[in-house]
Amino acid sequence: MEFSGYDINKYSPRQMVALPLALLLLALAVLGYTTLATGLPLTPGIDFAGGTAVTVFTSDSRETIEATFAGYPLLSVGEGVGDGKYVQFGPMDDDQYRSFSALVNEKYPGAKVDQIGETFGKTLQSQAFLALIFSFIGVAIVIFIAYRNPVASGAIVLAAASDITITAGAMQVLGIPLSLGTTAALLMLIGYAADSNVLLTTRLLKRKGKFEEKLSGAFRTGIIMTTTTLGAIVAMWVVATAGQIQIISAIASVLIIGLLADMMNTWMLNAGILKAHIFRSGKK
Amino acid sequence: MNKETLTNLVKDWRVALLLLLVIGSLVSIYLAPPNPEKGLEGNLQFGLDLQGGSWLQMEFQSVVVAYSTDGSVGDLIENLRTGLETEVIQIDENHLEIRKNVSRADLEPIFAASGASIVTYQEGVSPFTADEVKRILNEKVNALGMQDARINLLTPTGSEYPQYVRIELAGVDMATAQEIVGTQGLFEIRVQTTGNETEHVLYGDQITSVGVPQRDTYGQWGVGFSLTDAGAEAFRAAAIESGAVDNPNAHHLVMILDNETVYSAPLSGELAGQIRSGPVSSLSASTGTGDSGREDAMTLQIHLRAGALPVKVDIVGSGSVPAALGEQFKMTVALAGIIALLAVGVMVYYRYREPSIVLPMLAVNFAEIVILLGISRFIIQLDLATIAGLIAVVGTGIDQLIIITDEVLHEGRVPSQNLYLKRYGRALRIIAISAATVVIAMLPLALMDLSTLRGFAIITILGVLIGILVTRPAYGKIIMAILSK
């Protein structure tokens, strides 16, 4: 597959990094604004805020469901293909939850129900935050050990951080909440970012040959790589969304956004930085 | 490819190892032990969301405090007990377990009043208490004949003490699950009158607290428990009327839990004397010396509590999946997996247009999935998140096969073995670095007790490791044989 529309060697480093950096800043602004407004960079889902999620296959309309649960803190009714419904509720106290439970059992005995308490959600949130921090530090250390070149390693870490930030910003804009599943997907992005960026950096720094050829060669491999992965993930997203499997659908949507962000960050941001670095240090 | 190259290929240790692992995995899924009635699923272990069942996550209402004191520990414990109206247990030299969800700020004044101070404060229980909870829950579940129950203690990262217990019951609905965890058995103390006849003394509701097994100065293990005033009165009346005070050996005291005798022993001479002069509310049931005495004391302790947990627990999370919906999810994820693999096939074919490259690539990718499933059978249950991890691993797997292919295919066909090996080495370097990053990125999630995403993280790490150790080297060998034909 060739993306003839983008000739990676045509642009100057400054042009290459402009768009990714602009998007990164925009994402930071979105996340910063959300943090100021709510105290958290992303809207927490039920896993982290507490609440109840009900997955049910029913021919009842959204209005019927809303009417059935009128007395409860209903947040949203999501509809999949066919009869699948994903209904979310805010936190309830013990008594309310008991009567809620009885109601679900009576109306929709075939439903999948998951409930997380508010304080337990907070604990999960801080644990997920810890995981994110540990992961990122660990990855940065591995990359620095692997290259021992501050510019190359810094560019990879920046690209990975930017992947996560831009994806998180997009999640906030699209209304995908932060849950355990999406946190895992953000972590997984670090892995995908490493694949493509390490490929680029290794090809450019370790191979002999003309810079332009090395770059377009790496680009060709990288694009086929990412689009293939994208194919697998899109397939997963389509089936899971149609089948109303919330957790897989959420993981897949975050991975799709992230892979798109990664293509941009690898082939514009990281490639731009490396191009400037290589030309400045005079090794062609 | 002719027959000779094929034999040589299979003889190569990399390819041989791959084949061996695939066969081993198929055997572990389908033949060890054979499970024909499960069809394609074989021996794969499914999580609740694919199998149907209920889970409850409960938080211990208890804190563990490290303290320092100039005064007596006994006084401190006594002050805490009376001040908080709760059980306080000394775990070791400088740690106390306070079985109540009490804040640090509320504890400070009590410690200060006893001339002590709090060094550290953590929510949770001692590992000993946590194991006891687990044992009690196990006993309850077993008593109901449920085999498919998983009970796990969870310790948040950064804490040393278990704070949660999670119970998963396959094939059980939420109401039943709550009942199992919540209900207590009926505990009764009876006294032997004449022969084997017994008479009611008191029920478990008269027991106010139950201690932990302790050894007295003679090496006898026993469990202390306290009675209400009414209970102590009833106990005294029964002991005197039945004649147990005068002739203890003919009138055993019998403890019964749900109609089953769990303990039977005479009054000690000392206690008989005390009872004669007035009601006694602090009693102790001894169980003998040595390890067997200790074991018996542990069990007796659980019985005395009538299956109630030593620590109050609050349900902080719960969920249930009906079996039919689980089955539907299973079908859906299987479909997602197959379609993902097909999508990969189409993309790769579109790029290389060469069946002799595309087919081995897909075959190796598929082999990787089979090996992962074969190994996962022994270590994790497949739940929805784990399957998402599996598909994500297929994504990185194919990434790396593409890196190898493109690296060796650079500028057309491979001229010499040497050059091939050099290029292959370079590809492996890229793969090794990216594998290391994925492992490191996922490690925190895999190690964290709390996350329900352990499966996702473990399968990802496992996938990357199998990739770098087995499937990538084998693919490198296969693609070389194909390209150099």
CB pairs A-B closer than 8 Å: 243
And the tokens for B85?
A: 């109206």
Look at residue A129 and tell me whether its pLDDT is greater than 90.
no
Query: A198 and B451: CB-CB below 8 Å?
Result: no
Q: Does A98 touch chain B (CB under 8 A)?
A: no
Region B134-160: mean pLDDT is 81
Give every strand in the sheet of B198-203, ordered side by side. B198-203, B187-192, B253-257, B260-265
**Which range is least confidently modeled, A50-54, A280-284, B258-262?**
A280-284
Residues of B with Cβ-Cβ distance to A110 under 8 angstroms: 322, 324-325
Query: A180 and B391: CB-CB below 8 Å?
Result: no
Asked if A237 contacts A253 with a C-beta cutoff of 8 angstroms, the reply is yes
Please tell me which of the candidates B174, B333, B339 has its beta carbon nearest to residue A245.
B333
Query: A101 and B174: CB-CB below 8 Å?
Result: yes
Query: A111 and B448: CB-CB below 8 Å?
Result: no
Residues of B with Cβ-Cβ distance to A221 under 8 angstroms: 402-403, 406-407
Query: A247 and B385: CB-CB below 8 Å?
Result: yes
CA distance B405 to B352: 10
CA distance B334 to chain A (A): 10
Tell me which chain A residue has its CA closest to the CA of residue B60.
A120
What ranges do the domains of chain B cover? 3-51+322-483, 58-128, 187-308
Residues of A with Cβ-Cβ distance to B321 under 8 angstroms: 112
Region B26-55: mean pLDDT is 84
Q: Give the tens place of pLDDT for each residue, A213-242.
A: 889 889 988 998 888 889 889 999 999 998
pLDDT band at residue B1, thresholds of 50, 70 and 90? low
CA distance A97 to chain B (A): 11
CA distance A261 to B17: 37
Look at residue B32 and tell me whether its pLDDT is greater than 80.
no
Residues of B with Cβ-Cβ distance to A220 under 8 angstroms: 406
In terms of Cα–Cα distance, which of A180, A163, A228, A231 is closest to A45? A180
Q: Does A209 touch chain B (CB under 8 A)?
A: no
CA distance A261 to A163: 6
Look at residue A284 and tell me whether its pLDDT is greater than 60.
no
Tell me which chain B residue has its CA closest to the CA of residue A145.
B433
* Cα distances (angstroms) measured from residue A16 to each of A21, A140, A163, A277, B224: 9, 23, 16, 13, 76
B202, β-bridge pairs? B189
pLDDT band at residue B411, thresholds of 50, 70 and 90? low
A interface test, pick of B354, B361, B403, B407 with most A CB neighbours within 10 Å? B403
* Cα distances (angstroms) measured from residue B432 to each of A199, B457, B463, B472: 11, 18, 13, 10
In terms of Cα–Cα distance, which of B464, B466, B465, B442 is closest to B454? B442
Asked if B255 contacts B285 with a C-beta cutoff of 8 angstroms, the reply is yes
Residues of B with Cβ-Cβ distance to A227 under 8 angstroms: 347
Instruction: Please name the amino acid found at residue A227.
Output: T
Q: Give the tens place of pLDDT for each residue, B418-431.
A: 878 888 888 888 88
Other residues' Cβ atoms within 10 Å of the Cβ of residue B263 = 20
Query: B406 and A221: CB-CB below 8 Å?
Result: yes
Region B67-77: mean pLDDT is 86
Task: Report the top-level CATH class of B3-51+322-483.
Answer: mainly alpha
Residues of B with Cβ-Cβ distance to A238 under 8 angstroms: 339
Longest C-alpha distance within chain A, in Å?
A: 74
Please tell me which of the candidates A139, A225, A247 has its beta carbon nearest to residue B440.
A139
B315 phi, psi to nearest 5 deg: -80, 120
Residues of A with Cβ-Cβ distance to B333 under 8 angstroms: 239-240, 245, 248
Query: A245 and B332: CB-CB below 8 Å?
Result: yes
Residues of A with Cβ-Cβ distance to B365 under 8 angstroms: none
**What's the confidence (pLDDT) of residue B371?**
93
Look at residue B251 and tell me whether its pLDDT is greater than 90.
no
Query: A112 and B320: CB-CB below 8 Å?
Result: yes
Please tell me which of the candidates B395, B433, B440 has its beta carbon nearest to residue A233.
B395
Query: B392 and A255: CB-CB below 8 Å?
Result: yes
A interface test, pick of B155, B440, B456 with most A CB neighbours within 10 Å? B440
B199 CA to centre of own chain: 42
**What's the confidence (pLDDT) of residue B394?**
79
CA distance A51 to A90: 4
CA distance B327 to B52: 8
Query: For the packed helices B384-409 and B323-352, what is the interaxial angle rounded to 10 degrees?
Result: 10
Residues of A with Cβ-Cβ distance to B430 under 8 angstroms: 198-199, 202
In terms of Cβ atoms closer than 10 Å to its own Cβ (0-12, 13-18, 19+), residue B231 is buried
Query: B392 and A120: CB-CB below 8 Å?
Result: no
Strands B164-170 and B53-60: antiparallel
Q: In this structure, which CATH number among 3.40.50.170, 3.30.1360.200, 3.50.30.40, 3.30.465.10 belongs to the domain B187-308?
A: 3.30.1360.200
Asked if B356 contacts B479 with a C-beta cutoff of 8 angstroms, the reply is no
DSSP states along B247-308: -GGGS-EEEEETTEEEEEEPPPHHHHHHHHHS---EEEEEEEEHHHHHHHHHHHHHHHTTT-
Query: A202 and B453: CB-CB below 8 Å?
Result: no
Share of chain A above pLDDT 70, in %: 97
**What's the confidence (pLDDT) of residue B229?**
87
CA distance A271 to chain B (A): 16
CA distance A270 to A20: 10
CA distance B320 to B176: 11
**What's the confidence (pLDDT) of residue B143?**
67
Please count the CA atoms within 13 angstroms of the CA of A132 that sit on its side-chain side. 21
Query: A228 and B438: CB-CB below 8 Å?
Result: no
Tell me which chain B residue has its CA closest to the CA of residue A147.
B433
Q: Give the tens place of pLDDT for each residue, B362-373.
A: 999 999 999 999
Q: Does A191 touch chain B (CB under 8 A)?
A: yes
Say yes or no: domain B58-128 is CATH 3.30.70.1340.
yes
pTM for this entry: 0.81
B241 CA to centre of own chain: 49
What integer best gives the mean pLDDT of chain B?
85
CA distance A281 to chain B (A): 23
Look at residue A197 and tell me whether its pLDDT is greater than 60.
yes
Residues of A with Cβ-Cβ distance to B340 under 8 angstroms: 231-233, 235-236
Region B86-93: mean pLDDT is 85
**What's the confidence (pLDDT) of residue B184?**
65
And the tokens for A169?
A: 């910003």
Residues of B with Cβ-Cβ distance to A101 under 8 angstroms: 174-175
Asked if B62 contacts B311 with a C-beta cutoff of 8 angstroms, the reply is yes
Query: For the packed helices B355-379 and B454-466, what is the interaxial angle rounded to 10 degrees?
Result: 130
Q: Does A123 touch chain B (CB under 8 A)?
A: yes
Check if B58-128 and B187-308 are the same fold: no
Q: Does A260 touch chain B (CB under 8 A)?
A: no
Residues of B with Cβ-Cβ distance to A124 under 8 angstroms: 450-451
**What's the confidence (pLDDT) of residue B291?**
85
Share of chain B above pLDDT 90, in %: 18
Residues of B with Cβ-Cβ distance to A146 under 8 angstroms: 433, 436
Which is higher by pLDDT, B9 or A96?
A: A96
Query: For the packed helices B417-447 and B454-466, what is the interaxial angle rounded to 10 degrees?
Result: 160
Query: What string of H, E and C letters represents the secondary structure of chain A?
Result: CCCCCCCCCCCCHHHHHHHHHHHHHHHHHHHHHHHHHHCCCCCECHHHHCEEEEEEECCCCHHHHHHHCCCCCEEEEEECCCCEEEEEECCCCHHHHHHHHHHHHHHCCCCEEEEECHHHHHHHHHHHHHHHHHHHHHHHHHHHHHHCCHHHHHHHHHHHHHHHHHHHHHHHHHCCCECHHHHHHHHHHHHHHHHHHHHHHHHHHHCCCCHHHHHHHHHHHHHHHHHHHHHHHHHHHHHHHHCCCHHHHHHHHHHHHHHHHHHHHHHHHHHHHHHHHHHHCCCC
